[in-house]
Amino acid sequence: MARILLAEDDAGQAFVLQSYLEHEGHDVRVAGDGLLALAEYRRSPPDLIVLDVMMPGLDGVDLCRLIRSESPVPIIMVTAKTDESDVLAGLDVGADDYVAKPYSPRLLVARIRAALRRSGLDSHLRRYEIGELVVDAERFEAALGGTPVDLTPREFGILAALATGPGRAFTRREILDLAVGFDHYALERTVDMHLFNLRRKIEHDATQPRYVLTVRGRGYKLADE
């Protein structure tokens, strides 16, 4: 769902949070101190960052200022101090939200969800049209020439995944990751099956597909017109 960078020096807390977030389908990376976090951020910019203020090396406030100067990525600060000045410092350097320790992991997870929603990232919720085919992720519905098509959740998920990049060829693994989740282990063959069933529902002639195209040696793609 989203790639989250967790900068937290307390390994225990980090692990708990990581579990929660991964359970929600996020891709979580943990950095034990500020410098590692910065390196990780540079190596692969995440969709959201959770920063502990108190960290060895580079502390959260400085790190926040640094990152904020390069990117508008949502940053949530976590602090043990209840001191208001701490909150202010955090917001001052551009943090998007802040949570005081001790916090319940679920509260922080909720804040993260809210921040992601705000950043519009959890909304690959959009509407795609390819010829007669309409894929509406918001309504979780697909239609063909105005007529709703009855798809199973997996079929819809895979179709929506392909629809995020019409014309782009996805591997089966990419499709599984996008439609089912990173932590899901199914044979890649399964994707074939779903697309086979999907074709029976939306293709006029399954041997001559109009929408779901096979890319031999790679995977599948959605026609882009």
Partner DNA sequence: AACCACGATCAAGGCCTGATCAAGAGCCGA
Partner DNA sequence: TCGGCTCTTGATCAGGCCTTGATCGTGGTT
Which parts of this chain interact with DNA (CB under 7 A)?
150, 152-155, 180, 184-187, 189-190, 192-196, 199, 206-207, 214-219
Does 210 bind a second copy (CB under 8 A)? Our answer is: no
Burial per residue of 118-157, b for 16 or more beta-carbon CB atoms within 10 angstroms, e otherwise: ebebeeeeeebebeebbbbbeeeebbbeeeebebeebbbb
Q: Of 144, 165, 128, 188, whose CA–CA distance to 180 is shortest?
A: 188
Does 156 bind a second copy (CB under 8 A)? Our answer is: yes
What is the helix (H) or strand (E) element at residue 69, kind and residue range? none
> Least CB distance from residue 211 to DNA, whole Å?
12
Residues 165 and 220: beta-carbon distance below 8 Å: no
> Least CB distance from residue 37 to DNA, whole Å?
23
> Least CB distance from residue 225 to a second copy, whole Å?
12
Q: CB-wise, 72 or 153, nearer to DNA?
A: 153
Binding range to a second copy, per CB under 8 A, among 2-10, 126-134, 138-146, 187-195: 138-146
Q: CB-wise, 19 or 152, nearer to a second copy?
A: 152
Query: Could you tell me how far CA 159 lies from the centroid of its own chain?
Result: 17
> Rounded to an integer, what distance in angstroms lies between the CA atom of residue 19 and that of residue 73?
22
> Rounded to an integer, what distance in angstroms lies between the CA atom of residue 53 and that of residue 142?
45
**One character per residue 7-46, x = contact with a second copy (rule: CB under 8 A):** ----------------------------x-----------
> Rounded to an integer, what distance in angstroms lies between the CA atom of residue 114 and that of residue 108?
10
> Least CB distance from residue 80 to DNA, whole Å?
28
Give me the DSSP letters along 141-177: EEEETTEEE---HHHHHHHHHHHTSTTPEEEHHHHHH
Q: Which residues bind a second copy (CB under 8 A)?
A: 35, 57-58, 62, 66, 69-70, 84, 87-88, 91-92, 96-97, 104, 106-107, 110-111, 113-114, 118, 138-141, 152-154, 156-157, 165, 167-169, 173, 177, 182-183, 185, 215-218, 221
